[in-house]
Amino acid sequence: MNKASIAKWYDETSPFYRYIWYLNSQSYALHYGLWDRNTKNLHEALLNTNEFMSRQAGIKKGTEVLDAGCGIGGSSIWLAKNIQAKVTGISISSKQIEKANELAEKYGVSTLVTFYLKDYLHTEFKDNTFDVVWAIESVCHAKKKEAFLAEAYRILKKGGKIIISDGFLKRKPINKREKQLTLDFYRGMLLPNLSSFSEFENKMKSVGFIKLKKFDKTKNILPSSRRMNRITKILYPFLSIAVKISLLPSLFLINCKAAIVQYEGVKRGLFGYGIFYAEK
């Protein structure tokens, strides 16, 4: 599982997720979102993540933020438009960077956001560059999570903050069914592994981060997890036909299988979702 395969995965699956995940939405986000009792729809859930993370990280006007694994720029544009933060977004997908630049122009924030085709493990930015490193559901793709954390630590200014929202392994699979659904989830989402909450916390400490805070948000992603499961189950037979007649790449079915089993994994207590905050 290398950088090229992950970029290809995003390029090929993005049209599918764009259709089912943010149709008629201006969040431009490909993540679970956070639901609470006042959340009315997925669009609000997706924005809730931005609001929660920006509050925790203390982002304000002029804060220099690195959006590591920026996708098509949803969070970067939101931070610039709503807070007037100065955001640098990076992705390994050229198609995502192209779309992100289009959206930044569309929403009038091109002077506040810049997008680069870069690897978040080797950013080539100078030491002590950013006030905040921000990552939503991107660190999960790193085989060695500590490599990302070390790079983030290097490019953060002293006193800088890191805020990460992602999936985690709450416990190890204990039977054949759980092992299979974990394998299907990893394979379909191109995940080399998932850290447990405690493993990830220890990795953050090992590279030097302090003042750690952990927020278990597993319950808050359940509506999105269920939605993904239900929609994909409905679409799966049609997508299977499309793959058979070569209208879609076979990767779609592998990804769809992961989208189906992830809900069972969450309900079984295998997969969790959390937000980590720390300082340099």
Return the pLDDT at 236.
87
Who has greater pLDDT, 24 or 85? Answer: 85
pTM (2 decimals)? 0.93
- Domains: count for the chain: 1
Q: Within 10 Å of residue 42's Cβ, how many Cβ atoms? A: 21
Cα–Cα dist 25/99, whole Å: 15
Q: What is the pLDDT, as a whole number, of residue 251?
A: 78
Which amino acid does the sequence have at 92? I
CATH of the domain at 38: 3.40.50.150
Residue 24, pLDDT above cutoff 60: no
- Is pLDDT of 16 > 70? no
pLDDT at 14 over 90: no
- Using an 8 Å Cβ cutoff, are 243 and 175 in contact? no
Q: How far is Cα 235 from Cα 250, in angstroms, rounded to an integer?
A: 14
pLDDT at 187 over 70: yes
- Alpha carbon 199 to chain centroid, angstroms: 19
Whether the Cβ atoms of residue 236 and residue 176 lie closer than 8 Å to each other: no
Mean pLDDT of the chain, nearest integer: 92
Q: Using the predicted structure, report yes or no on whether residue 17 has a pLDDT greater than 70.
A: no
Domain that holds residue 177: 3-279
Question: What pLDDT, in 10s, does the model give residues 86-144?
Answer: 999 999 998 899 999 999 999 999 999 999 999 999 999 999 999 999 999 999 999 99
